[in-house]
Chains A and B, each alone.
Chain A
Amino acid sequence: MFTEADLTALAITLKLALLTTLILLVLGTPFAWWLSRSRCRLKFLLEALVALPLVLPPTVLGFYLLVALGPNGPAGELMQWLGVESLAFTFTGLVIGSVIYSMPFVVQPLQNAFSAIGSRPLDVAATLRASPLDRFFSVAIPLARPGFFSAAILGFAHTLGEFGVVLMIGGNIPGETRVISIAIYDHVEALEYSHAHWLSGLLLLISFIMLITVYALNRHFRLGHTP
């Protein structure tokens, strides 16, 4: 069924997806809030930038990250100056790549959820003595709860399936950067089809269950069940 190496790859994949999702929720929430509220005229530039990973081949994104994070890249040089080893081919590098790669899947549902609230509930809260930060936590976040569910699940599921970016900046170091999608590729290369079957089937099942959850939740909230 699953080899020892497969299970390690599975653990790394889950760790990567979980960490990426958490980081994206923390960074993406204020960013999505700003995108949904701001009337800044240059906002569309940032929106396009966030959406880039949707259309860009993952290898392109991975290539640029490799160049940037490698010992001779701008980020890499900064790291070396700070006394940190190059981030290319490390788990940390993988997390950075995944955060960028999965960003639209987290930021867009959040931005849509915040926009759907409209300004009225926030105006009401302001007249009920709530400061801007208070309004954000006591009104905006609870009302955007369906968006948070979608964002977390989509971000997690999308990171699980990542391949191109990982291949470019993560390499294939067992126990460090070797994730499921790479493990499947290796099995196929080695003509170990049954192993590939097990891993692929597992990934298919997890992804499908998560998408079912997203759509069931959307339906639930759309039918007027308040969160």
Chain B
Amino acid sequence: MSIAARFQIRRGDFHLDVDLNIPAQGISALFGPSGCGKTTLLRAIAGLEQHQNGYLKINDMLWQNDHHFVPPHRRPLGYVFQEASLFAHLNVQRNLEYGLKRVPTAERKVSLAQAMELLGITHLLRRKPDSLSGGERQRVAIARALAVSPRLLLMDEPLAALDQARKQEILPYLNSLHNELDIPVIYVSHSPDEVAQLADHLVLLDKGKVKATGAISDMLTRLDLPLAHEPDAEALIEATVAAHDADYDLTYLDFPGGRFTVSRKPLAIGTKVRLRVAARDVSLTLAHQSGTSILNIFPATVDELIPEGTAQISVRIMVGGIPMLARVTRKSAEILQLQPGKVVFAQAKSVALLS
């Protein structure tokens, strides 16, 4: 199951030239700086703009080739714009029903109740769009897009117009949507933080070209790509809740490279979680330290090193086959004689848990 998209779009000086093949499941992020062509590509996928010589196939649905163009209203997709763009002449309920009632009953898989529940907007039904907060408006817009039971959900920086508090208000909803509905999502973003929290798959766009594409955990830690060089560079680790320790009030999380210890979380055993480990919180030692307060220590192999300015070095290490990043000084790297293949121990000073 995959999404195949080929577009060549010329607009003045700007030239978008992409040939994409991404899995049609989970959240795929189109990531890149402003003006790299993310929104243009998303609009082309939606069919909002028709471009010559495009090709687009979503699973078994052919939406565009040289002889064939399905207009946007005949494509079973949902689109969330950067601005909520609710219809000002309709109240929340009628906004939600606008798309729903245009979908044949047989194709309705997401109920209005389910969409409203997922986004927590049941209490807003009678309100007019202009009486809602920015965050509420965007939640209604997302529910409205879900209510058409899309087979592909396109989201164009749905959080970019919101302040930090509103973003944090909506992110959990997006995560639950991801877990509860089996709808592939293409998510446009220029925020590394959002991408790390949401995406499973990453497409890196730069100046209208695809620079790299791959699984999020790999893309975040690849030293030939810009994300690993951000000041907040981090690794993502999928782990499973293994046990709780009542005595010390701790939770143990297992991943292929070992076991993380974190302060106790109200999660059932077996729950899958996503951990973020920042590069600057990881230090490397040659021997397993015993006299330390750090609990999360794992055997690792150095995979690659790249200087970060003149004083620091970014190190990609493999922990049980899972890539992680460490940022160390050039001096320490020399003392430890770090080089690819070297066996070390990675100490993670802090770990953040995503839902």
Contact = CB atoms under 8 A, between A and B. Distances in A.
Contacts of B74: 129
B73 A139 contact: no
A147 to B, nearest CB: 13
A142 interface: yes
A121 B72 CA distance: 14
Interface in B35-77: 46, 48, 71-74, 77
A224 B131 CA distance: 11
Interface stretch (B82-90, B207-215, B238-246): B82-90
A128 B128 contact: no
A116 to B, nearest CB: 11
Contact of A124 (B79, B89, B128, B130): B79
Contacts of B72: 123, 126-127
Contacts of B46: 127
Interface in A41-91: none
Contacts of B145: 127-128
Given A127-B46, A127-B145, A128-B144, A139 B79 contact: no
A105 to B, nearest CB: 25
Residue picked from A123, A124, A128, A142, most chain B C-beta under 10 Å: A128
B158 interface: no
A227 B74 CA distance: 29
Contacts of A142: 87, 89
Contacts of B71: 126, 131
A120 interface: yes
A123 B85 CA distance: 10
B98 A125 contact: yes
Interface string A124-168: 111111111010001100110100000000000000000000000
A127 B77 contact: yes
Interface size class of B (residues with CB under 8 A): 20 to 34
Contacts of B130: 224, 226
Nearest to A143: B89
Contacts of B89: 142-143, 145, 226-227
Contact of B148 (A120, A129, A227): A129
Interface size class of A (residues with CB under 8 A): 20 to 34
Given A120-B83, A226-B88, A126 B73 contact: yes
B81 interface: yes
Contacts of B223: none
Contacts of B26: none
B102 interface: yes
A124 B83 CA distance: 11
Contact of B73 (A121, A131, A143): A131
B103 interface: yes
**Dominant secondary structure of chain A at its interface with chain B:** helix
B130 to A, nearest CB: 6
Given A120-B81, A124-B79, A124-B81, A129 B87 contact: no
Given A123-B48, A124-B81, A226-B128, A129 B88 contact: no
Contacts of B79: 123-124, 127
Contacts of A143: 87-89
A226 B88 CA distance: 6
Given A123-B48, A138-B98, A224-B130, A129 B73 contact: yes
Nearest to A124: B85
B257 interface: no
Nearest to A139: B87
B150 to A, nearest CB: 9
B299 interface: no
Contacts of A145: 89
B102 A130 contact: yes
A132 B48 CA distance: 12
Given A126-B72, A127-B72, A129-B102, A120 B48 contact: no
A140 to B, nearest CB: 11
A56 to B, nearest CB: 37
B87 A127 contact: no
A126 B87 CA distance: 13
B135 interface: no
29 contacts: A120-B81, A121-B85, A121-B87, A123-B48, A123-B72, A123-B79, A123-B81, A124-B79, A125-B87, A126-B48, A126-B71, A126-B73, A127-B73, A127-B78, A127-B99, A127-B145, A128-B148, A129-B148, A130-B73, A131-B71, A132-B73, A134-B73, A138-B98, A142-B89, A143-B88, A145-B89, A226-B88, A226-B89, A227-B89
What 5 A-B pairs are tightest by C-beta distance, nearest first? Answer: A128-B99, A127-B79, A129-B102, A126-B72, A142-B89
Given A123-B79, A124-B81, A124-B85, 4 more contacts: A120-B83, A126-B72, A127-B72, A138-B98
